[in-house]
Amino acid sequence: MKMLTVSLLVCALMALAAASDVTQPEPILQGLCPDNFFYYNGRCFRFFPDLLPWAEAEENCMNMSANLASVHSRDEDVFIYSMIKERDASNPESWIGGSDCQQDNVWLWSNGKKFVHTNWGTTILPGYKHGCIVVNDGAKFRWDARECSELRPYVCAFTM
């Protein structure tokens, strides 16, 4: 009986250790970022409901020492979608920092970070000039590309 109890205890400890290895999204930590910015994973994010073309939105972000948000993981996608939804219940398509303006179908982040994570909701066709990335496309919680001159709300981010 004592051996069974020890075995169960060891199994329980292993299960708890394994559960603690699972990456959990960080809670929004107020006070680490300027007013109206939200902290997530070492960066500060803010949704702006103003309708601007992509380049003007990027310029506004740069005026705050930020860029349109780059997205590097599924957890960051979820965080950004949640932040937009919290600020605007209609969950509008919103600019983030990706564009292929330099070369068709070669996607780059405006902050110079490496483009490693994608969350496309549609097929991006080579040779078609898409322009700039929006989150919350018609499929919701996915990305799509729109002409950069379209007017959209946007998300800025900067590293702490």
Question: Closest by alpha carbon to 134, among 90, 88, 81, 86?
Answer: 81
Counting runs of H as helices and runs of E as strands, what totals does the chain give? Answer: 3, 8
The pLDDT-based confidence of 63 (bands split at 50, 70, 90) is very high
Instruction: In whole angstroms, give the CA distance from residue 51 to residue 18.
Output: 45
> How large is the average pLDDT for residues 17-38?
58
Q: What does the pLDDT read at residue 120? A: 83
Burial group, residue 141, by CB count within 10 angstroms (0-12, 13-18, 19+): middle
Residue with the two structure tokens 């405006």? 110
**Is it the case that residue 36 has pLDDT exceeding 80?**
yes
pTM of the predicted model as reported, rounded to 2 decimal places: 0.77
Which domains does the chain possess? 30-159 (3.10.100.10)
Contacts of 36 (CB under 8 A, 6+ apart): 46
Residue with the two structure tokens 């603690």? 20
